[in-house]
Chains A and B, each alone.
Chain A
Amino acid sequence: MGHVVITGGASGIGESVALRLARSGHRVTILDRLLPEAATWWASLPAENRGLWFSLDVRDSSSVHRAVRDSWGVEPLDGLVTSAGVVTRGALLTETPEEFSEGLEMNITGTLNPIRSVIELWVSEGRPGSVVTMTSTAGLGYVAGLSAGYHAAKSAIVGITRSVAGDYARHGIRINAVAPGVVRTAMSLSQVAHQGEGSLAARAPAGRLAEPDEVSAVAEWLLSPSSRLTTGHVIPVDGGQSAVVGAPPAGYPLPAHDTRGTHAFGFSRSEKAVVS
């Protein structure tokens, strides 16, 4: 069992990561701009899985730093998942300079701040750990409908992941990025409402949107010792979208089998549950 800090854990992918890790027996601590009352599930988590909740702005390095130190006081940290972020839709000419700057601050600085604070403690305490960052298919290539600032920020997260992986590997610290495609979260619902689910789903061979838990399953694997030889890498969780250079003109047909249900190899409990 481990103690994992999750930024942006009140909703969306972060919420899903928190719930999945808590179910596996970990203690989760949340850093989010929202209050814990915004997440109805938080109060019902078993006490041993409930760490602390800090309502803060991830752009503010000193409050992030204090939060990380305080959560370490509850139990030393084993993992960090940086899923706080904002999305700006549109394109170069519709994204204002203010939106561009705020997006970079939220997504880049807001990712770097918790990583810096957590790794500082891991290095000084001589403790290994695993970080999972959230990039996007927009960090790997062009995704229609998302702004230049969002593409820039998510590409930057790939760079941060590689740089930190190289520098801190000698301390037993791993860091990898997850690159989700279109995930069924509140953040993507406006896009779904605008474009219709069908056209978004047809972007990927899998022919459907990802559920948040399919992203957190990959994050959980990256936190676990089963991935102890994987660092500095980006794992797309996108139904094959980034493996495609040219999609069929009419998009992909719906698969005959839902990959969530067939060939259900589980992890053994020990592999799934232990962090770092």
Chain B
Amino acid sequence: MNHVLVTGGASGIGAATVQALMASGAKVSVIDRSEPTNWWEQGPPEFRGTWVVADATERKVFRDAVTSVTADGVTGLVASAGISLKESFLASTDTAWDDTLMVNVMGSVIAAQESARAMRDHDTGGAIVFVASTVAFGAVAGLGSHYHASKGALVALTHSLASELAPLGIRVNAVAPGLVKTPLTEFMRSNAGEEALTARVPLRVMADPEDVASAIQFLLSTSASMVTGQILPIDAGQLAVVGQPIGGFPDIVTPMAIPDYA
């Protein structure tokens, strides 16, 4: 049976992915900073691997968690643990940069490294999916610069690992969700309203976590056997658009200062 590790599996995209994978008949393990959820406890025992509570800001604890979960082999990794801190660049603190890069980038690196080692040691091959974002390709107002930087790093990591791990039969891809109805975007939805947010994208809808989960499932599956090193947007067409969104940009609250070089 396939065994997939999902980091950040307690909520949002991670939780939807865990449930979709279990429904398709894979054994799933979770690493999350939260305790096991009710739906996990009530899930099908034959598809329930282990749930380890670990926070990716604690590097050693997190690595040990991945090592223990993958000790008997793993054929898939979904690295979906991520945080978003809402500071402006000028006000951003070193702590926020450290935490964001630690969880979003190093957490994905550590999970991928230990999982790929297990795939190599058990001689199984496998598939890795990172959760990048549309912010890796352009500015999305309201999400911090540290979040943009961390997701950009995952795109480069996807390219590099696809090339380096291909000889082991390991594929590496990423999804790039736009706005998804998850706890992470709750503040944007309540501040701006869903209408203003969906006006940014051609399909005029926000993704449900299940939409991202089905794309992750596709990238893990043999239907994507020749797909590696790629970034798959789940963005309702956002990235196909250059320039003004349908409906126009909202009014600028604070006019930009025009520097006087005279």
A interface residues, Cβ below 8 angstroms from B: 161-162, 165-166, 169-170, 172, 174, 181, 205-207, 210-211, 214-215, 217-218, 220-221, 226-233, 235-240, 242-244, 252-268, 271
Contact = CB atoms under 8 A, between A and B. Distances in A.
B24 A268 contact: yes
Contacts of A266: 24-25, 221-222
B47 to A, nearest CB: 12
Interface residues of B, number: 58
Contacts of A256: 123, 125, 167-169
A243 B25 CA distance: 31
B157 to A, nearest CB: 11
B249 interface: no
Interface centre among A161, A181, A236 (most CB of B within 10 A): A236
A235 B26 contact: no
Nearest to A215: B226
B194 interface: no
B162 A205 contact: yes
Interface stretch (B6-14, B31-39, B183-191, B234-242): B234-242
A258 B123 CA distance: 12
A172 B205 CA distance: 11
Contacts of A233: 232-233, 239-240
A265 B202 contact: no
A166 B235 CA distance: 12
A239 B246 CA distance: 35
Contact of B220 (A207, A211, A238, A263): A263
Nearest to B230: A236
A255 B124 CA distance: 12
Contacts of B223: 217-218, 220-221, 267
A259 B126 CA distance: 8
30 contacts: A165-B240, A169-B237, A205-B163, A205-B166, A206-B166, A214-B225, A215-B226, A217-B223, A226-B218, A229-B205, A229-B234, A229-B235, A230-B235, A231-B202, A231-B236, A231-B237, A232-B239, A243-B163, A256-B168, A257-B170, A258-B169, A259-B171, A259-B226, A262-B125, A263-B124, A263-B220, A263-B222, A265-B24, A265-B220, A267-B221
